[in-house]
Amino acid sequence: MQNIDWGSLPFGYFKTDYNVRCYNRNGAWGKIEVSSSEYINIHMAATCLHYGQEAFEGMKVFRGADGKVRIFRWEENAKRMQRSAEGIMMAEVPSELFIEMITKVVALNEKYIPPYGTGAALYIRPLLIGSGPQVGVKPADEYLFMIFVGPVGPYFKEGFHPVKMQIVRDYDRCAPLGTGHIKVGGNYAASLKPAARAKEEGFASVIFLEAKEKKYIDEAGPANFFGIKGKKYITPDSHSILPSITNMSLRQLAADMGLEVELRHVTVEELGEFDEAGACGTAAIISPIREIFDRETGKSFTYGEGEAGPYSTKLYNKLRAIQYGEESDPYGWTTVLDI
Ligand SMILES: Cc1ncc(COP(=O)(O)O)c(C=O)c1O
């Protein structure tokens, strides 16, 4: 076990001992390589550097109450990465290779898996890049798939405490028929400026609107948005939203709690009708929202008295308990890694 202050880890890069890599050349995946270098040697004309042929995933591994190491819904991340690859014409990573490499890199870095009870987890970052050279705008003929890991604390320094978010109208994260539904780097590049400005202005994150009509909520920074209205769990549906695996799971848990689940357009005006609001994703599960400020109209929507609402709290606790193996996992969402 490493001598790490697990309880105060940030959500950030943490050097561990090994990463794993695999190349796709001439249309075939090669052997898995283990590396202890944090660097990759890459051709200067690689398509990932010029034309954005890059996709990634973000997942977590948890040390459970029973000492077992669990990964959450990895099949969904594998499928999403395949959709990302297909969307920008990269070689797809088969699910079997995806989980084999995860298992290997987690086993190699086992001492960095945070102990149960610290609230920390081991973050897994699969990365797929076009590594072959091109000068014309064309897909590469060589791809590198690699995975690194590192222990992380919660994404928002506030943890499970309500944050303030800001609606932006002068930036879009993606185009209506663009790449918002897949996890490719360009979407994140486009979000950097409004996110940095929101931080400077005192907000934890931005809320992007659907770019065509600017009427509907799209995403809450690098997370999906949801609201609770009476006995309903409501979350936006749009082609430009990344389908969050956390949101997919919360929808199921919400239905199990007797909430009606609605996946549909959510207008800015409707924000005024919610009892609770939150952002959801792997990094934080749920970040409850206490205020949404519309930067252009100056209008504010507020939720609760500074504490997370009852449904958000229940949903958060339930999903967390499944991930840490504290409660039964009726849908088989977790897989115990044999490491
Ligand atoms: C843009 C965006 N939306 C939503 C999510 C949440 O997805 P997930 O719950 O699969 O982590 C993420 C994080 O991966 C994201 O980057």
**Burial grade of 230 (CB within 10 A; 0-12, 13-18, 19 or more):** exposed
pLDDT at 160: 85
Report the alpha-carbon distance of residue 46 to residue 142 in Å, rounded: 9
User: H/E element holding 96?
Assistant: helix 95-108
Judge if 6-152 and 163-323 fold alike in CATH terms: no
**Domain 6-152 -> CATH class:** alpha beta
pLDDT at 296: 96
Report the alpha-carbon distance of residue 301 to residue 291 in Å, rounded: 6
Buried b (16+ CB within 10 A) or exposed e, 145-182: bbbbbbbbbbbbeeebebbbbbbbeebbbbeeebbbbb
Pocket test for ligand 1, best of 152, 224, 319 (most atoms within 8 A of CB): 224
Q: 142: closest CA among 35, 40, 34?
A: 40
Cβ atoms of 139 and 47 closer than 8 Å? yes
pLDDT at 158: 64
Q: 63: closest CA among 329, 260, 326, 290?
A: 326
Cβ atoms of 217 and 271 closer than 8 Å? yes
* Token pair 């430009």: residue: 240
Per-domain residue ranges of the chain: 6-152, 163-323
* Cβ of 242 less than 6 Å from ligand 1: yes
DSSP annotation string for 54-98 = EEE--EEEEE-TTS-EEEE-HHHHHHHHHHHHHHTT-PPPPHHHH
Report the alpha-carbon distance of residue 159 to residue 45 in Å, rounded: 41
* Token pair 């945070």: residue: 114
- The 3-state DSSP class for residue 134 equals coil
* Cβ of 191 less than 6 Å from ligand 1: no
Nearest atom of ligand 1 to the alpha carbon of 283:
11
* Cβ of 205 less than 6 Å from ligand 1: no
Report the alpha-carbon distance of residue 30 to residue 290 in Å, rounded: 49
Q: Which amino acid is at 120?
A: A
Pairing type for strands 163-168 and 205-209 reads parallel
| pLDDT values of the chain reduced to their tens digit, one per residue, 339 residues | 568 999 889 999 999 999 999 999 999 999 999 999 999 999 999 999 999 999 999 999 999 999 999 999 999 999 999 999 999 999 999 999 999 999 999 999 999 999 999 889 999 999 999 999 999 999 999 999 999 999 998 766 666 889 999 999 999 999 999 999 999 999 999 999 999 999 999 999 999 999 999 999 999 999 999 999 999 999 999 999 999 999 999 999 999 999 999 999 999 999 999 999 999 999 999 999 999 999 999 999 999 988 999 999 999 999 999 999 999 999 999 999 998
Report the alpha-carbon distance of residue 142 to residue 234 in Å, rounded: 42
pLDDT at 1: 59
Backbone angles phi, psi at 127, to 5 degrees: -140, 130
Cβ atoms of 337 and 72 closer than 8 Å? no
Backbone angles phi, psi at 175, to 5 degrees: -85, 155
* Token pair 């840490």: residue: 324
Cβ atoms of 279 and 223 closer than 8 Å? yes
Q: Give the CB-side neighbour count of residue 201, counting CA atoms within 13 A.
A: 18
pLDDT at 22: 98
Domain 163-323 falls under CATH 3.20.10.10: yes
* Cβ of 246 less than 6 Å from ligand 1: yes
Pocket test for ligand 1, best of 282, 285, 287, 315 (most atoms within 8 A of CB): 282
Report the alpha-carbon distance of residue 145 to residue 143 in Å, rounded: 7
